[in-house]
Amino acid sequence: MTYIYDAAGRKLRKVSSGTTTDYVSGIQYKADGTIDFVQTEEGLAKRTGSSYAYYYNLKDHLGNVRTTFYRNPNNNNTEVLQQDDYYAFGFRKTGAVGDNKFLYNGKELQDETGLYDYGARFYDPIIGRFTTVDPKPNYSMSSYAAFLNNPILIVDPLGDTTYRFSQVDGKYIGMYDLDIAGQVGSYGSMKTIGKGKDKQEVWDGQRFEFADPVSDAEQIRDGIINSLVFVSNTEMKEMLTAQGAFNYDDKNSAWRFYQNSKGNQRFDYSYSVIPIKYAAQGASSSPLEIPSPLLFLPQGDNTAHNHMNFGNYLWGASGYTLGFEVGTLQLGAHLNSIKNPGSNGYPRQWDSKDDQNSIKKGVFHAERFKYRTILEMRPHR
C-alpha cells in the first residue's frame, strides 16, 4: 500500500491492492476517475448514477460519528445506514455495519491497517498512540501520545499542534504536539497521576478553537498574543447594556442599528469598549495598527477570538438581541465593509471568513443565554 502527498502534507492518492483512490479537497474519486462522494459539513454527498444521495452524520462532542442516515428516495423515509460506538481511545465497538469510513474524530479509517489518518500522522486506536514520533516532541510525555492522554475531553484534529494557556491567569504556556499545520488551543494545568514508577505529570485541560486559526496561531507563535481572557456571561451583558443593545425602543430598528454600527460608534466594540474595559490586560486602542496581545473566550463557548473578532462577536450578539437574524447580520457586515471604508479604517472589502464566523458565534451566544427575553423585560415606552 502506498500514499502520495503534496508539499503541505495533504493526501492526494492511496494505492492498495491495485486499487487507486484519489483525494482532492474533500472529493474522493474512484479508480476509474469518477467521483465517489463529496464530503460536506453535515456528512457526504454520495454519487449514485447521475445524481447524488445525501448522507448525514450525527456526532458527539468530540466529533466522533455515531450515526449515519439518509432519506430513502424510494419511500421518502429516513433510514439509519450505520451506527458506531467507541472505546475511549477510538477502538470501535460492534455497531450497525455500513460503508462510512470517516468515524472517530471524523477521521478516515484505513481498512487495510485499522489505523486512522490524522493528516500529520496515523493513529492506532487499539493502543491509543500515533504510529510515528512527534518530530518536535514535548518531553513531559511520550512522543507517540495522543489527545494529551485525555480522549474524553481533548481531540487532536490533525495529530499536531496544541497551544496551551494557564487556567489560573490565562497566560500563554507554549506549543505542544508540534507537527505541521493545524491549530487548537487548550487551557488548564498540569496534574500528577499514578504512583511510584508509574507517576507522571499530564496536562489536564479544556480544548478550544480559534475564530481565525491561521492568523491567531501565527500571532501566538510570533509572541504578539500572550494571554487568554475568560469572559463571563455577566460581563457580556454588562457590555451590551452599556452600549444600548438591550434598549427595547431600538428593537427591530434597522436604521438605528446601522448608525450605531459605523466606525467609532456604540456598536463598534473593538474601539468603543474593548480597549477601555480590558486596558489593564493590554488591549490596544488601535487594534488594526497595533494588535492586542489578547484572545477572548466567552463563557459557554469553545472558540476564542482575537481583539477585532471579539468586537464582531459582541456586535453579532447585539444585533440578534435587537431582533436581527444571523443571515441578515452577516450580510450587513459585508455591506458595511464595502460601503464605509472611511469610518471603518480599512479599504473596501468583503467581510472575512473569520469575521463572519465570530458574528455567527456571537449570535449563538445571545440565543443560548436568551438575550431577547432579557430585552423584552426591559422598560420601554
Point out which residues pair with 175 in neighbouring strands: 163
CA distance 162 to 186: 7
The model's pLDDT over 281-337, given as tens digits with 9 standing for 90+, comes to 999 999 989 999 999 999 989 999 999 999 999 999 999 999 999 999 999 888 877
351 or 77, which is more confident: 77
What is the tens place of the pLDDT at every residue in 59-91? 988 889 999 999 888 888 999 999 999 999 999
How far apart, in whole angstroms, are the C-alpha atoms of residue 119 and residue 197? Answer: 34
**Of the candidates 99, 26, 100, 92, the residue with the CA atom closest to the CA atom of residue 57:** 100
Q: Are 102 and 82 in contact (CB under 8 A)?
A: no
The count of residues in the chain is 381
25: left (phi over 0), alpha (psi -120 to 50) or beta: left
Q: Does residue 136 register a pLDDT over 70?
A: no
Strand order through the sheet with 294-298? 172-176, 161-166, 183-193, 200-210, 303-306, 294-298, 227-231
Domain boundaries, the chain: 152-209, 215-377
Q: What is the pLDDT of residue 180?
A: 37
Angle among Cα 144, 138, 147 to the nearest 5 degrees reads: 50
Q: According to the model, what pLDDT value does residue 244 have?
A: 95
Region of 114 (left: φ > 0; alpha: ψ -120 to 50; beta: rest) is left
**Beta partners for residue 46, in sequence order:** 37, 53
DSSP 9-57: S-EEEEEETTEEEEEETTEEE-TTS-EEEEE-SSEEEEEETTEEEEEEE
List, for residues 145-184, the tens digit of each pLDDT value.
877 677 876 666 655 567 899 999 999 998 876 443 446 8
Pairwise CA distance, residues 198 & 179, whole Å: 27
Q: How far apart are CA 144 and CA 188, in angstroms?
A: 21
CA distances (Å), 292 to each of 14, 229, 296, 342, in order?
44, 12, 11, 22
> What are the pLDDT digits (tens) for 252-266?
999 999 999 888 899
Distance between CA atoms of residues 54 and 61, nearest Å: 22
Q: What is the DSSP code (8-state) at residue 286?
A: S
Cell of 201: 505529570
